[in-house]
Amino acid sequence: MLENLTKELKKLYSKERAENSMKYFKTGKGEYGQGDIFLGLSMGEQREIAKRYGELSLSNLQKLLDSSVHEHRMIAGIILTYKFKENPEEVFNFYLKNAKRFNNWDLVDVTCPRIVGFFLINKNKSILYTLANSKNLWEKRISIISTFPFIKENQFADTLKISEVLLRDKHDLIHKAIGWMLREVGKKDVEVLKDFLKTNYKKLPRTTLRYAIERFPEKERKMFLKGKFN
C-alpha cells in the first residue's frame, strides 16, 4: 500500500508548483525549510490521497515522516488526524515522538490542534510547556498552536501562559503563531485579549501585536500600535 501511495504522488508531480512551494516555504540555504523537497501537490490532492490510504500502519507512516519529501510528511500527518479518533492516546504519543518531523508551519498547523490539542483539552497540559521551552522551532510552534481547541472551549489560560513563555523567542514564525492564537482569544473575549496586550505590550514582537489586533476597529488598532490604551 505504501509503495502505491508514493507512486501515485510521483504521477501528480508538478515542476512549476513544486518550485513555487520551495520558495514559499523557504527551502533555501539557511532558511527554516532548508532541504525540504516538494512534489507540487495541492492540499486538496493530499487530503484526497490521505483518505484513500487511511489504513496505513504507524510503521508505514513513520517511513513517510522520515522522508525528505514534504507531501509525504503532510499526508502522514493528515492520516494521523483520522487515526486519532480511533486510538487517541497511541496517536498522541506517536505524534510527540515525531514532533520534529513536522518541520514546517503548515505541517504543524494542519495536525497539532487535531491531535495534541484535542487529546489534552481536559488533561494535564505540562507537555505543552516542555515544548514551549524547547530549542526546536517546530516544537515551540506546536506548543502554542495546540491550544486552538482550548480557545474554542473558552479555556484561555494556557494560550496566554504559553504566549508569555514564547514572547522572548526571536523567530518570526513564533511571533505569527502567538499573534494568531491571541486573535482567536479575542474573538471569544476581546477584553481578555486587551488585558494581555496591555500587560505585555513592551515585550510583544511587532508582528505578534499586528496579528493579534487585526480584527480591531481601525482607530483602536492604531492606538494599540502606538501603545496608547483607554
- pLDDT (0 to 100) of residue 203: 93
CA dist., res. 125 & res. 144, Å (int): 12
Q: Fold for domain 114-230?
A: Leucine-rich Repeat Variant (1.25.10)
Output phi, psi for 185, to 5 deg: -60, -45
At 213, list the grid cell: 489586533
If we measure between CA atoms, which residue out of 83, 141, 137, 75 comes closest to residue 115? 83
Listed by start position, the domains of the chain span 1-83, 114-230
Predicted confidence (pLDDT) at residue 134 exceeds the cutoff of 80: yes
Per-residue pLDDT, averaged over 194-215, amounts to 96
Instruction: Please classify residue 57 by burial: count the beta carbons closer than 10 Å to its beta carbon, then call 0-12 exposed, 13-18 middle and 19+ buried.
Output: exposed
Q: Do the beta carbons of residue 72 and residue 41 sit within 8 Å?
A: no
Predicted confidence (pLDDT) at residue 1 exceeds the cutoff of 90: no
Q: If you average pLDDT over every residue of the chain, what do you get?
A: 96
Could you tell me the pTM of the whole model? 0.95
The predicted-structure confidence for 144-193, as pLDDT tens digits, reads as follows 999 999 999 999 999 999 999 999 999 999 999 999 999 999 999 999 99
- pLDDT (0 to 100) of residue 100: 96
Predicted confidence (pLDDT) at residue 116 exceeds the cutoff of 70: yes
- pLDDT (0 to 100) of residue 229: 74
Per-residue pLDDT, averaged over 211-216, amounts to 96
Given pLDDT bands bounded at 50, 70 and 90, which one contains residue 230?
low
